[in-house]
Chains A and B, each alone.
Chain A
Amino acid sequence: MTRAQRSLTLWLAVALILVAFPIAAPILPLQSTVAIDIPGRFDGPSAEHWLGQDELGRDVLSRIIWGARASLIVAFGSAFFAAVIGTILGLVGGYFRGLAEILAVRSTEIIICLPPLLLALLVITILGAGIDTLIMALTILFVPKYTRVVYAATLQTGALDFVTAQESMGTHPMRILARTVLPNIFPPLLVQFSLTVASGILLESGLSFLGLGVVPPAPSWGLMIRAARAALDVQPLLLLWPSLALAGTVLLLNVICDRLQEVITPRTAERGGAAWLRRQLGLTKPEPVADDTPLLAIRDLSVAVSTERGTIGLTDTVGFTLKPGETMALVGESGSGKTLTGLATTGLLPNALKITNGSALFRDCSGTVLDLAKLTEDQFRPLRGNDISMVFQDASASLNPVHRIGDQLAEVIAEHRKLPRAEIDTLVVDLLRRVGIPDPEQRRRAYPFELSGGQRQRAMIAMAIANSPRLLIADEPTTALDPTIQAQILRLLDGLKDENRDMGMIFVTHNLAVVKEIADTVSVMYAGEVVEQGSVAEIFERPRHPYTAALLASVPESESTRLESIPGTVPRAGEMPEGCRFAPRCKHAADICASVDGLQTLADGRRTACIRWETVT
């Protein structure tokens, strides 16, 4: 069992114990909920009445437990029925589109326009007060919320390749909806469920308060809160008990839904501690470091992941320097630690990952040198987007599917620059044009799913260059682009450096041909380590590491029909071989290779980690 599963089990057990009370109410030795005891009015807790007595001297404990039945049935019942109906409408509307969309989704939007209380009043006036009517009224109220959430999630999921893959496999649409789409929209559905139950309990109390829900003298938490408020100055405890029950239920439900979501969402690394805790530690100003680095000096940087089985190193003693106006390419296969090195430099490492060693000295706009490896989240935020900016690899994951791309771009600009709306709009169109989106005036109104993959990537790049950064970390920014647009983007990035001579760029890529065109220096990474470093001209002319040589040989430009490929895959983190990590795939491996330890500097100033470089390169 993982930590999340254990935690879920624990909280479910707590919930079960608590729910057992109202369920078992008829057989528990509880006092009557309606027996009036006028002399005992407003008495505090006593041996006989553990939680005291209310304004008519009735036992509060038994009214809380019996009241839970009404409140929870109404809240869970309406949340559940609304979830079923809303999910079906949202799924059908979002998947089949067209007429189904109009019927299912647009019609529920009418309900949203009506004031909720008015709607509930209408239903109850027609059908009379009572628990059944209350559930029905609340169900009608809640359906549109689910429909919206499910509709949006279905639109997003339906456009994903694995759904198309099912279609192309000839799977029946209903089967696709039930087996592929539904499980993948479950997380937002779950969040919506916990929100709805909470608001169901609150609405029940509100409606009962107005005399439209549970009919007295039957107890419900809402009725109890209503009565207690009138007697607040006589016996404040009367308000405390039902409020505690209410708040406790809502909190417990949120925790359970949270844990459930963690359990059903597959992920590689488990989540670390709470982000707000880390933030608490960062209220101080960052310490300047005395160093003469002109822009960026990464030294011995190591990143590790903490897992169930302990800490596993992901990158090991990575080091390089970057001068203003210089472009350094970080090149290597995926999983070699290029992206992690970039993320560590921008303070964007996921929670479970930590910098375990080394420093990243950065000279910011004001000339102060900071150690980025030691900054807290709060100290980092003003740097990001101003001094340091990043272009990410995965555009579809980085764009919000329910907002127009122009609006998302405007938001990025507005966050860092106070400009009038019209000026921002001009900038947005201009940026979209610069990254090669056709028809930017029209296209800025498009939602991400309306753009082809390449166009989404361009919108993403527009966001990163929106605020002219000093250190630009571009992680595979052109990988998904067409050659003619890639050429334009490379020139665009080059142009940015001309506009801003203080800017340096780290260009993360696996495409050696691109490296050759854009970069001045290269660091070749393999399995978390830098294995070779030098100028672009030298490394392409004569690689000094067998891995670099193998990478160059696999570029699909040879005349032969069969491509050279490097056998095997990069070893998994935590399973690294001793000494040279490339040894299992290296055709020159020898016994001596187990003694490799980091880069060595050669006479001509180049650096390689291969111990046999003289004989094999």
Chain B
Amino acid sequence: MSDQATAMEQTSAGTVIVEARGVSRNFPQRQGLFGEKRDVWALRKIDIDIRRGEALGVVGESGCGKSTLGRLLLALDDPTEGTVTFEGQALNEMRGAPLRALRQRMQMIFQDPFGSLDPRRSIGAQIADGLRNHQTVPPAEINAEVARLMDLVGLDPVTATRRPHEFSGGQRQRIAVARALAPRPDFIVADEPVSALDVSIAAQIVNLLADLRDDLNLAMLFISHDLHVVRHLSSRLVVMYLGRIVEEGPTEAIFAAPRHPYTRALLSATPSVRRPAGYRGAILEGELPSPADPPSGCAFRTRCPLAVAACAGAVPELEDIGDKRRVACIRHADMVAP
């Protein structure tokens, strides 16, 4: 890497703002009416750092714990084990008013642009909520600030008095972005923000998020199940399977040569306009195992084409393989293209 690139990285990649260390979340489930409670781990031993000006991409199948991770990082939920820190403050030790005050600095954008807005209140009032809760601006300036935010995300401020049903999906997602930006956050969790949108509109929102990340130096957790979209926004990528990180590293490197069999399967399952019509790639057979009863050893072994007897032993460690990449597979060396 050239000196210039290193210098760039130090300034633009910025400081770590959100940090998760050994984070696990258990949702114990009762078996039947009087049965015993069984552990159901939605997340296991997650370590991640998110820096200012960076959108960390998280991909994985639904149920793998992406949303749970997002909620933990925003203190909407507490980890069963481990800690989440925001600028060095441990979130799980905070409660009540101080926590609500801190929440102003972390916001969320949801997948469903229809479900994430209250259908009964004007969009201006909903954007203003975040301003009022934390007195971001003096009451007299709220209307002007709402107009500024709407303008920022490409909405016409005169539409502030309308209710959500008068807007299209893409416009609603812009409203949701404006609402998230209102309290001037430093960190945003975007949970599948473009999955419900049209391609051409998704492209607009992805470009908007990229601009905001750069202009406001935001830290972002960008959750998606579409690898192609993540590639456009995130320079660093985390791949999750059944509550664990299985691969992590620079997005381009992972795309060029995935080192975990699951990542490779994910890439080949993602439909592409560049493949011939009627293309049928190798399909990952089987189902995501129940988190209530995960396979021993590597959780992916029930579907993994490379699985060997040893995979049923210990859970593979997330191993550093150089080039800032980490992978949790005992056969990662066999994944290097011959």
Contacts and interface: CB of A to CB of B under 8 A. Distances in A.
Interface string A475-517: 0000111111111100100000000000000000011111011
A484 B273 contact: no
B225 A482 contact: yes
A536 B133 contact: no
Contact of B133 (A170, A485, A563): A170
Interface stretch (A347-355, A372-380, A448-456): A448-456
A167 B163 CA distance: 21
Interface stretch (B79-87, B278-286, B309-317, B319-327): B278-286
A438 B287 contact: yes
Given A438-B290, A483-B270, A556-B231, A537 B277 contact: yes
A368 interface: no
A512 B277 CA distance: 11
B273 A512 contact: yes
A162 B231 CA distance: 28
**Could you tell me the dominant secondary structure of chain B's interface residues?**
loop
A566 interface: yes
A335 B283 CA distance: 33
Contacts of A488: 283-284
B200 A491 contact: no
Given A557-B273, A561-B232, A184 B119 contact: yes
Contacts of A554: 199-200, 202-203
B74 A540 contact: no
Contacts, number: 215
B16 interface: no
Interface stretch (B5-13, B18-26, B165-173, B328-336): B165-173
Interface string B243-284: 000000000000000000000011001111111011111011
A439 B292 contact: yes
Interface in B123-171: 126, 129-130, 133-134, 163-166, 168-171
A390 to B, nearest CB: 19
Given A479-B196, A484-B266, A516 B229 contact: no
A353 B209 CA distance: 37
B269 A170 contact: no
Contact of B275 (A267, A491, A517, A556): A517
Interface string A382-422: 00000000000010100000000000000000000000000
Interface residues of A, number: 71
A452 B60 CA distance: 13
Contact of A169 (B103, B199, B228): B103
Interface string A403-447: 000000000000000000000000000000100111100110000
A510 B255 CA distance: 24
Of A485, A491, A514, A536, most buried by chain B (CB within 10 Å of CB) is: A485
Nearest to B233: A561
A562 B207 CA distance: 6
A563 B232 contact: yes
B76 A167 contact: yes
A170 B104 contact: yes
A333 interface: yes
Contact of B120 (A161, A184, A482, A555): A184
Nearest to A552: B273
B318 interface: no
B195 interface: yes
A479 B171 CA distance: 19
Given A164-B110, A165-B110, A334-B169, A487 B275 contact: no
A461 to B, nearest CB: 14
Interface string A161-183: 11011111111100000001001
B338 interface: no
A309 to B, nearest CB: 15
Contacts of B117: 162, 165
B108 interface: yes
A569 interface: yes
Contacts of A514: 271
A554 B101 CA distance: 40
Nearest to A487: B269
B199 A512 contact: yes
Contacts of A454: 61-63, 225
Given A480-B196, A483-B225, A561 B76 contact: no
B76 A164 contact: yes
Contacts of B204: 565
B47 interface: no
B170 to A, nearest CB: 7
Interface string A516-539: 110000000000000000001100
Nearest to A482: B61
A513 to B, nearest CB: 4
Contact of B202 (A165, A556, A570): A556
Interface string A537-570: 1001000000000111011110001111110011
B206 interface: yes
B165 A162 contact: no
Given A266-B119, A517-B280, A565-B204, A170 B196 contact: no
Given A168-B103, A439-B290, A162 B116 contact: yes
Contacts of A566: 200
Nearest to B182: A169
A190 B103 CA distance: 35
A160 interface: yes
A396 B116 CA distance: 13
A433 B285 CA distance: 12
A485 B171 CA distance: 29
Contacts of B114: 394
Interface in A286-345: 333-335
B100 interface: yes
B17 interface: no
Nearest to B176: A165
Interface of A: 160-162, 164-172, 180, 183-184, 264, 266-268, 333-335, 394, 396, 433, 436-439, 442-443, 452-455, 479-488, 491, 510-514, 516-517, 536-537, 540, 550-552, 554-557, 561-566, 569-570
25 contacts: A165-B179, A169-B103, A169-B129, A169-B133, A183-B118, A334-B168, A439-B290, A439-B292, A453-B62, A454-B61, A479-B195, A480-B195, A482-B60, A483-B271, A487-B271, A510-B198, A516-B277, A517-B277, A556-B206, A556-B232, A561-B232, A565-B203, A565-B204, A569-B170, A569-B201
CB-CB nearest 4 A-B residue pairs: A454-B62, A513-B271, A170-B100, A439-B290
Given A169-B129, A512-B199, 14 more contacts: A171-B129, A171-B133, A172-B100, A453-B112, A486-B269, A511-B271, A517-B271, A517-B278, A551-B200, A554-B199, A554-B203, A556-B232, A557-B272, A561-B232
